[in-house]
Amino acid sequence: MTTQPIGMVTVRGSFVGATLAAVLLLAHPASMPRAAAGEAAPDIAAAAGSVRTGAPLAAPAPAAEDWTPPLSTRGRWIVDADGDRFKLRSGNWHGASGTWNGSGSTDDNANHHAGENSGRMPLGLDRAPVSEIIAGFREIGINSIRLPFSNEMIHDSRPVTDGSVAANPSLRGRTPLQVYDAVVRELTGAGLAVILNNHTNTTRWCCGVDGNERWNAGQSVQAWEDDWLFMARRYKDNQRVVGADLYNEVRRNVWDDPNWGLGDNHDWFAASQRVGDRILTEADPDLLIVVEGINWTGIPVDGLPHERPTLEPVRRLSHTLVDSGKLVYSAHFYDYTGPRHSGATGTGETTDARYRDFTPAELTDVLNRQAFFVTGERDQHFTAPLWISEFGVGGRTETGQKQRAWFENFVDHLIRTDADFAYWPLVGWHDNRQGNGWALLHWDSAGHRMGLHDGDDWRAAAWSRLVGAPGRTGHVDPVAEWSMLSPDHGDFVQSRRMRALPDWDSGARKAVCPDGQRLVGLSHSGRRGLCSDVSAGPLRDPDGRYEVVTDERHVASGADWASGYTKLQCPEGRFVSGYSVRGSAVSAVLCATAPAGTLGSGGRTVWFDRGDNRGSSPKGGDFAQGHYKGQCADDEYAAGIAYTGRLGSSRAPDALYCRKLG
C-alpha cells in the first residue's frame, strides 16, 4: 500500500530532515525463532460464527470458480493446468505484514494505520469468523487473494492476544505464522487462489522511509532469500497457493535509490531474478514469480531528479526465469501518486501531476508507458502477464471529483486491457458506518458488516463493471517464448540442465538459454543475447548431450562463413544454446544436441559489427539497447559465432552463423 511518504528532504547525504532522522533512530523489532514448518494450523471453520451474530450476507456466495492448479503463463495470459485462462480478480487481505505506524504502544489502536489494529494477522479476525470474511470475498467476485506478510512475522513466536481473535477463538494461543497458515488453508479450501506477498521486513505499516524500503533493508539478502524458501516450501503441498510476490514497493531510503541492473546490493532486477530462480529450483517449481517494478527513486523536491519508474526499466532489461511460463509483472497505481509525484502533501510534495490530474487520454498513455506495455506488446522479450496488485480509492466519504473520476477511468482501462488486478484493501473497520472507508468490506466491533453493495457506496457500479467485464476465457494456445540473456555482472545460466553440471568455462561469465530454447540473437558489445523456441517449439535432447566449442574444429573445409574471423561453430545436429564472455570478448560457445531431423543444413552469415541486422520485422524486441545486434530469422537457429582479434578489436561478437531449421 502506498501512503504519503514522510517528508523526504535528503540530498544524497548532505542533509536530513528532522522527521527522517527520527525514523532512522527507530529500533527494529528483534527477530524471533520461527515456528516449525510441520506444526499444524488450527481448524477455525468449526468455530466460525460461534461467538457473534451479524447481519446476513447481502446475497448467497457464488459457487467457487472451477480451475485446475498450478498456474503458469502463456504470453500475456495466466493459465491453469488445463491451459485455460485464469484471470486474477484479486484483493489484498492485509494485516499480517503490520498496521502499526512505528511510534507509540502497539496495543493502542490510535497508533495503527487508520486506527485499525490487525494484531499481527489478517485484519478483522477479532470481528468476524474467517468463513464469513471469505464468503464476502466470493460475494463481490474475488477469485484470488494477495496475502501480505512480513519477514518479522515468520520469526515471531509471541502468541496473538485472545482479543485479537475474538471472532475465531480456536486461534487463541497461536503465533502470527500459525494464524497465517490457518487463513491460507481456509482461503484455498474455499477455492480461492492465494499469492504470498512479502510486504515488509518488519511488522509495521508500509510505505514511506520506514526501514522497509528494500528487500535487504535491516536484514541480509541471505536472510530474505532463506525466508522465501521457507515460505514456499511451507505451502508447497497446497496447490492453490499459486504465487510468490517477491517484495512490495521497492523505493528509495534516506541515502540511496534502488536500481534495475547495476549489479550492486541495491539492484532489484538482480535480487528478484536470483530469488525467483531459487524458489523455482529449491522450493516449489509450480509457483508464479511476481516481480513488481520500482516504486520510487530520487528526492521529491522540484528541480531535483525524481520519478516512479514502475515497470519502464523492463523494456530494456527483462527477467528470464529458469522455468519459462512462471513470470508475472506487477505494478501499483493510486490517484494521489503520479509518474513523478510521491503522493506527499506538504514536505515532499512537488508540482508534478498526480494520476488524478490527467485526462482520460493522458492517463491511458502514461499507464501504457509505465506498465501495460508488457501485455500490450506481443512477442517481445518482456511480454508477460501484468497484475495490478494494488489500486484503490476512498469509499462512502470520498467526495472529490478528481478522485472519483480517476477510479472510473482506471477501471475503464483495466476493462479495456483485460488486465489482472488486486484491489487494496478488502477488509476494514467501521463504527456506525464511518471509518477509513477504503475497504470493500467493513466490520464494526460488534461484528456487523458494511458491504460494498449495501446501496450507499459509489464504487459499487464501477466494481461490478470490472468483475463482470467480458474478457478472454477458455483455452489459450501455447505461444513462442522470447527470452533475454543478460550476463552483465555474472553468470546468467537459465538452463536447469546446465546448472546441474560442472562449470564449463571457469572464470568466464556464462549465459545459457532456458531448456528447450535456442539462441537466435546476440549483441556486438553489450553481451546480451536473445533466446526463443519460435517455429521449432522446444528443442530438447533427452540425453542432455552438449559440447563446449572454443576453436574452429567444426568449420568444414571450403565452408568459411566469416573469412578472416575466428569462428566458433557447433557440429552438425547441434545448435547454440549458450555462450561465455570475458569482458566483452567471446570465450566459448555451448552447443546442445537437438532431436534428429529438427535442424537443417546450409546457412548464412549475419553481420552486426557495424549496425543492427535483425531482419525487416524482428520479434523479441530490443534486447540490447544502445548496441548493435544480429538476429537469425524465425525459421533459423544460430550454429556459430564469429569474432576478430585484430588490433583495436575487443573480440566481441561480430557475426552469427544462421542455419535453417529442419
Provide DSSP, 35-67: PPTTPPPP--TTTTTSS---PPPSSPPPPPP--
Distance CA 147, CA 141 (A): 17
Per-residue pLDDT at 363: 98
Per-residue pLDDT at 256: 94
Contact 546, 592 (CB under 8 A): yes
pLDDT band at 47 (very low <50, low <70, confident <90, very high): very low
Contact 281, 228 (CB under 8 A): no
- Give CA 31 to chain center in angstroms: 26
Provide DSSP, 195-234: EEEEEESSSS--SSSSS-SSTTSSS-HHHHHHHHHHHHHH
pLDDT band at 64 (very low <50, low <70, confident <90, very high): low
| Among 595, 583, 617, 604, CA closest to 655 | 604
Residues with Cβ < 8 Å from 180, sequence gap 6 or more? Answer: 96, 121, 122, 147, 149, 153
The helix, strand and coil proportions of the chain, stated in percent and rounded to the nearest 5, come to 20, 25, 55
Interval 117-159: pLDDT, tens: 999 999 999 999 999 999 999 999 999 999 999 999 999 999 9
Report the mean per-residue pLDDT for the chain: 90
Per-residue pLDDT at 154: 98
Contact 69, 81 (CB under 8 A): yes
Q: Which three cell numbers stand for residue 343?
A: 503522493
Q: Which own/partner contact pairs does 279-285 have at CB distance under 8 Å and 24+ positions apart?
A: 279/228, 279/229, 279/232, 279/244, 280/321, 280/322, 280/323, 280/326, 281/322, 281/496, 281/499, 282/229, 283/228, 283/229, 283/232, 283/233, 283/236, 284/232, 284/233, 284/235, 284/236, 285/323
Provide DSSP, 276-292: HHHHHHHT-TT-EEEEE
Per-residue pLDDT at 14: 26
Residue 589's alpha-carbon distances to 46, 505, 576, 640, in angstroms, are 61, 10, 7, 8
Check the CA dihedral 334-347-103-450 and report its sign.
negative
Distance CA 288, CA 71 (A): 7
Interval 378-427: pLDDT, tens: 999 999 999 999 999 999 999 999 999 999 999 999 999 999 999 999 99
The number of CA neighbours under 13 Å toward the Cβ of 549 is 27
Contact 289, 279 (CB under 8 A): yes
pLDDT band at 649 (very low <50, low <70, confident <90, very high): confident
Per-residue pLDDT at 1: 58
Interval 277-334: pLDDT, tens: 999 999 999 999 999 999 999 999 999 999 999 999 999 999 999 999 999 999 999 9
Distance CA 267, CA 418 (A): 31
Q: Which three cell numbers stand for residue 594?
A: 537437438
Distance CA 430, CA 426 (A): 13
